[in-house]
């Protein structure tokens, strides 16, 4: 079965061109040959190739390799991800090293062994495919970041508390300092992390968000550090972990306070040594990340009672940012409401919406146990269901605080369950353990329901 790859061979020796084409045509879908290197720019602008095999010398009597280097540079000008294999009769090691330094993928010496040649070309084609996939992923990440930045401007808020946060971000974003973001659920910890990344020197690289609360002991290492094929029963293929994927960019470890002591030890080793080991491999993989962590838990108190490692806290906590709950920055509520009205008005084609004075008064008096996230969902629902340009107090669903509507009992299970969770969290100051005990459910069940209802 033929590989779907496209190969271009450029060599002034017609015999070599014909020999390579005959051999490679049985392995690749398209094999183009060209004697004149001057046609390279036109050819590669017209067609993309997985591998370009390029002679190093085209003029008679010249064997310096400079011609090949010249055309390599030209190729990379048009296609920076081009995979180029040099082929020459002069097996000069220094020439090969210089070619690879300039951006060549590998070096083939004439006369070649067919089997080795094929392996080299197949490996180069896979390398090209991997680079294109990485580029695609990075383009998606850039697009995602642009959409996130467009959908929520973090600099919504004139309260003294938030102005202090914004000033801290401006000071630390350009550094490589590890940052710990503290705050209740729904206060915008991930968005602060994204804003730090956006203002950092790594803004053009990936931002990888990891929800640590979703990992158990069984998948923790595989998810963070990756694994090799056959490392365990279900490891059917090699897989990179989040640390490896984030290398060069920013790694955001959300809900870091949920890790067991064993997980904390493994995480500390990776952060401290700046390298990871895939499961099933003894080969260290160096990592280069900007680390941002976040938690809604009282992590300092956790160190005191030995549920969080003190040495790990020191590693992740070079700079600490404390996000205030919405009830402590009520002066920001009108601007946040206006922001969400514009955002969801555009999304649902309901422009120029406003909140009535009674509705705004009710918002300002509400405690918002779910913080900004709860306010956002509240406004979105009101925008969807409103039938006029003015959102009234009843449109904002304050009746959900009651279990009886218009003197009649509500049997909406989800509505009642969500409110019970909100009430329990409010009662216990967003302490998950106490709230789950109050509700007579496990912390994991509580966490899943919080995610389900967007609390």
Region 354-375: mean pLDDT is 90
Q: Token digits for 315?
A: 């590693």
Query: What pLDDT score was predicted for residue 147?
Result: 57
Establish whether the linkage from the previous residue to 111 is cis, with ω within 30° of 0: yes
Flag whether pLDDT at 62 surpasses 90: no
Tracing tokens 């060209």 back to the chain, one arrives at 34
Region 394-415: mean pLDDT is 56
- The residues, ordered by sequence, that sit 6+ positions from 405 with a Cβ below 8 Å of its Cβ are 399
Region 337-364: mean pLDDT is 90
**DSSP letter (8 states) at residue 97:** H
- Domains identified in the chain and CATH numbers: 3-132 (3.40.50.2300), 173-322 (3.40.50.300), 326-401 (1.10.8.60), 407-455 (1.10.10.60)
61 burial (CB, 10 Å; 0-12 / 13-18 / 19+) is: exposed
CB 325 within 8 A of CB 187: yes
Region 319-330: mean pLDDT is 94
Flag whether pLDDT at 445 surpasses 80: yes
Ranking 25-39, 70-84, 162-176, 407-421 by mean pLDDT, the lowest is 407-421
Query: What pLDDT score was predicted for residue 279?
Result: 87
Flag whether pLDDT at 136 surpasses 60: yes
Query: What pLDDT score was predicted for residue 402?
Result: 43
Query: What pLDDT score was predicted for residue 403?
Result: 39
Query: What pLDDT score was predicted for residue 335?
Result: 92
Q: Token digits for 426?
A: 């409010």
Quickly count: other Cβ atoms within 10 Å of residue 374's Cβ: 20
Region 311-318: mean pLDDT is 95
Minimal CA–CA distance to 296: which of 439, 180, 440, 441? Answer: 180
Packed helices 371-385 and 333-347: angle between N→C axes, nearest 10 degrees? 40
Minimal CA–CA distance to 13: which of 30, 32, 31, 33? Answer: 33
Q: Token digits for 393?
A: 């107090």
pLDDT digits (tens, 9 = 90+) for 208-250: 999 998 888 888 988 899 888 777 777 777 788 899 989 999 9
- Average pLDDT value over all residues in the chain: 85
Distance CA 366, CA 374 (A): 11
Flag whether pLDDT at 140 surpasses 70: no
Region 196-208: mean pLDDT is 91
pTM check: above 0.85? no
Length of the chain equals 455
CB 90 within 8 A of CB 20: no
19-38: b (≥16 Cβ within 10 Å) or e: ebeeebeeebeebebbeebe
Distance CA 354, CA 16 (A): 75
**DSSP letter (8 states) at residue 216:** -
Distance CA 369, CA 378 (A): 12
The percent of residues above 70 in pLDDT, for the chain, comes to 88
**3-state helix vs strand vs coil in the chain, percent to 5:** 50, 15, 30
Query: What pLDDT score was predicted for residue 229?
Result: 79
pLDDT digits (tens, 9 = 90+) for 376-389: 989 998 998 888 88
pLDDT digits (tens, 9 = 90+) for 90-132: 556 677 778 888 888 888 877 888 888 899 999 988 888 888 8
The 3-class SS string of 278-331 reads: CECCCCEEECCCEEEEEECCCHHHHHHCCCCCHHHHHHHCCEEEECCCHHHCHH
Query: What pLDDT score was predicted for residue 333?
Result: 94
pLDDT digits (tens, 9 = 90+) for 157-186: 789 999 999 999 999 999 999 999 999 988
Distance CA 119, CA 85 (A): 12
CB 327 within 8 A of CB 368: yes
Pairing of strands 354-355, 390-391: parallel
Distance CA 264, CA 274 (A): 15
Flag whether pLDDT at 153 surpasses 60: no
Flag whether pLDDT at 407 surpasses 60: no
CA distances from 110 to 49, 52, 56, 96 (A): 22, 16, 11, 13
223-250: b (≥16 Cβ within 10 Å) or e: bbbbbbeebeeebeeebebbbbbbbebb
């Amino acid at each position: 079965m033929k590989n779907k790859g496209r190969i271009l061979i450029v060599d002034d020796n017609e015999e070599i061109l014909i020999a390579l084409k005959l051999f490679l045509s049985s392995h690749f879908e398209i094999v183009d040959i060209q004697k004149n290197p001057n046609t390279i720019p036109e050819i590669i602008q017209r067609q993309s190739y997985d591998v370009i095999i390029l002679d190093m010398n085209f003029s008679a009597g010249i064997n310096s390799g400079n011609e090949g280097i010249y055309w390599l540079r030209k190729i990379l000008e048009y296609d920076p991800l081009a995979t180029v294999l040099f082929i020459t009769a002069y097996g000069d090691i220094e020439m090969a090293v210089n070619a690879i330094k300039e951006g060549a993928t590998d070096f083939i010496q004439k006369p070649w062994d067919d089997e080795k040649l094929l392996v080299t070309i197949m490996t180069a084609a896979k390398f090209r495919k991997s680079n294109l996939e990485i580029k695609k992923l990075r383009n998606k990440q850039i697009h995602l970041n642009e959409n996130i930045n467009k959908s929520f401007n973090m600099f919504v808020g004139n309260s003294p508390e938030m102005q202090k946060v914004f000033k801290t971000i401006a000071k630390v974003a350009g550094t490589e300092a590890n940052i710990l973001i503290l705050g209740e659920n729904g206060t915008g910890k991930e968005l602060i992390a994204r804003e730090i990344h956006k203002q950092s020197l790594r803004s053009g690289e990936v931002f990888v968000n990891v929800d640590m609360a979703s990992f158990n002991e069984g998948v923790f290492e595989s998810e963070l550090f990756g694994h090799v094929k056959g490392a365990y029963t279900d490891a059917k293929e090699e897989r990179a972990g989040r640390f490896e994927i984030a290398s060069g960019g920013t790694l955001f470890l959300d809900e870091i306070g949920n890790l067991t002591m064993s997980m904390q030890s493994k995480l500390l080793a990776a952060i401290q040594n700046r390298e990871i080991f895939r499961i099933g491999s003894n080969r260290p993989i160096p990592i280069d990340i900007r680390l941002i962590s976040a938690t809604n838990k009282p992590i300092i108190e956790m160190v005191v009672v030995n549920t969080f490692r003190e040495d790990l806290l020191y590693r992740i906590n070079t700079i600490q940012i404390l996000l205030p709950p919405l009830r402590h920055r009520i002066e920001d509520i009108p601007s946040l409401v206006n922001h969400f009205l514009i955002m969801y008005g555009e999304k649902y084609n309901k422009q120029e919406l406003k909140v009535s004075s009674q509705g705004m008064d009710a918002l300002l008096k509400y405690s918002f146990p779910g913080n900004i996230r709860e306010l956002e969902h509240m406004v979105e629902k009101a925008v969807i269901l409103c039938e006029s340009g003015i959102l009234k107090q009843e449109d904002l669903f304050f009746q959900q605080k009651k279990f009886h509507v218009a003197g009649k009992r509500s049997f909406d299970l989800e509505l009642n369950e969500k409110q019970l969770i909100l009430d329990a969290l409010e009662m216990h100051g967003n302490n998950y353990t106490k709230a789950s005990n109050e509700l007579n459910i496990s912390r994991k069940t509580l966490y899943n329901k919080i995610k389900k209802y967007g609390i």
